[in-house]
Amino acid sequence: MNRILTIFLLAPLSAYAQATLTGAMWFSSTPNGAGSVSMGYADGAANTVGGDQWYNLWLALNPDATLPVNGPSDTQAGISIPLQAGNSYKYYIFSVGICCTLSYSGLNLFFDGNGATPGISVFGPLDTTSFLPNRSSTLSLDANPVPGSGSTFYRSAGVIVLLTGYDWNNSATPPGDVCQAFTFTPEPGDVPSAFGSFTLQVWPAASLTLSQATGSPGTKVTIMGSGFAARETVDIYANHPGGSLPIAVTTDAGGAFAVTVPEAQHPYGPEELFAVGVSSGKLGVAGLLVTPDIVMQPGAGEPGGAAVAQGHGFGAGEAVDIYWANPRRLLGSTVTDGVGSNVLEITIPADAARGINEVIGIGQTTKALGVGAIVVQ
């Protein structure tokens, strides 16, 4: 059995509080996760609020909606789902009669009666299970503009609710038509529906903090944990439990640890680190904002000479323009890989000033800016 799953299933349940899922908002988004009221009207949005102008977001325990969680009437659109530590929950979601006109969609989840601030905000491309934390401008439960949480987890009263799966698909049959066996209003009958699912795992919480809130890939970051069992092994992962990094540390007699590691390669935007106690089954989560930088190789050269600009922390698969800073001129363009890195060979301008000069990279999609330096001899 998978080590993470084994820890999760063995976690004691009775000693921990619970959170309550009290709202969900789905919306069409830009490739950066941004959503707005105007986009909701034009491209699709749905929520678990009855009596408003938005389509209802229906939840069910199976793909054909014969085991519904909310509905079938508009007045029954609201949800209140207790989430207990040690358990995993999967919900199939769909909205009758709407289709996605954009290529990306976002999901905001709301907890413990707070419909103004999303506890979890993610987005991803349609028809895939790939998703990322969303910190862009997004929508509250009743579709007012608010910032995204920038996280895939929600912490409350001794538990951490972690989103481990999300997907959304355009109308299709099957299972896009979910109305045959269970009729919803205000559009009953055999109506094609956009559909998807999300999965939550609920863990007993430990504490995890970082020495800084932002940083570029390769930056040394100190990870500090507490509230774990005494002298237990804690596995640390990037992006999700069982994901990349990973490293193992041992807590002290008080259940705490501190370790310094280089920030992993990651695209521009939120990155999350997860610490899993092997014996306690506790989870600690912390996030930071990945920002770009430029590393010049070699770090010195003569006017007219060649150098390589290595970019890290830009958007995945985006074009990046590389400039000589002073006087400002375009040196060339390149496209990043899946983790936001790129390489571009440049020529040092013939009129470059002696001494330290800056080289700037600007992501053409994210508008993220990275700066590097080279010594002109």
Task: Using the structure block, give the residue that is written with the tokens 């698909």.
Answer: 169
What's the token pair of residue 209? 């903090």
Q: Which amino acid is at 321?
A: D
- Asked whether the beta carbons of 333 and 372 are under 8 A apart, the reply is no
Domain endpoint, select from 178, 204, 230: 204
What are the DSSP calls for 137-181, one per residue?
EEE-TTS-EEE----SEEEETTEEEEEEEEEEE-S-SSSS---SS
Asked if residue 45 and residue 191 are part of one domain, the reply reads yes
Alpha helices in 225-298 (DSSP H): none
Q: Where are the beta strands (DSSP E) in 66-158?
A: 81-84, 88-96, 104-111, 120-125, 132-133, 137-139, 145-147, 153-156
Helices (H), the chain: 3-10, 37-43
Note down the domain range covering 44: 3-204
Domain shared by 231 and 362, yes or no: no
48 and 22, same structural domain? yes
Q: Answer yes or no: do 246 and 199 share one domain.
A: no
Instruction: Answer yes or no: do 243 and 262 share one domain.
Output: yes
Number of folded domains that form the chain: 3
Question: Among 192, 199, 198, which residue's Cα sits nearest to residue 175?
Answer: 192
Are 228 and 205 in contact by the 8 Å Cβ rule? The answer is: no
Amino acid at 359: V
Same domain, 348 and 255: no
**Rounded CA separation 208/191 (Å):** 46
How many Å apart are CA 186 and CA 72, to the nearest integer? 9
Q: Which residues of 43-72 are buried (b: 16+ CB within 10 A; e: fewer)?
A: bbbbbbbeeeebbbbbbbeeebbeebbbbb
Going residue by residue through the chain, which has 377 residues, state the pLDDT in tens, using 9 for 90 and above: 455 545 554 445 445 578 999 999 999 999 889 999 999 998 889 999 999 999 999 999 998 888 999 998 899 999 999 999 999 999 999 887 776 678 999 999 999 999 999 999 999 999 899 999 999 999 999 999 999 999 999 999 899 999 999 999 887 666 666 766 677 766 666 677 788 999 999 999 999 999 999 999 999 999 999 999 999 999 999 888 877 667 999 999 999 999 999 988 889 988 999 999 999 999 999 999 999 999 999 999 999 999 999 999 999 899 999 999 999 999 999 999 989 999 999 999 999 999 999 999 999 999 999 999 999 99
Judge if 196 and 231 occupy the same domain.
no
Residues found in the chain:
377
**Token output for 77:** 């659109």
**Which has the closest alpha carbon to 269: 110, 149, 101?**
149
**Helices first, then strands: H and E counts in the chain:** 2, 30
Q: Which of 238, 260, 290 lies at the terminal end of a domain, its last residue?
A: 290
d(CA 321, CA 340): 13
Last residue of a domain, one of 160, 184, 204: 204
CATH code of residue 332: 2.60.40.1930
Identify the three-state secondary structure at position 328.
Answer: coil
User: Are 186 and 284 part of one and the same domain?
Assistant: no
Neighbouring CB atoms inside 10 A of 186's CB total 10
Same domain? 244 vs 233 = yes
Assess contact for 163 and 120: CB atoms under 8 A: yes
In this structure, are 276 and 339 located in the same domain?
no
Distance CA 126, CA 212 (A): 33
Integer Cα distance of 197 and 341 in angstroms? 31
Contact by Cβ (8 Å): 320, 333: yes
Domain co-membership, 250 together with 371? no
Q: Tokens for 314?
A: 């830009």
Tokens found for residue 43 = 């491209």
pLDDT at 1: 44
Does one domain contain both 284 and 300?
A: no
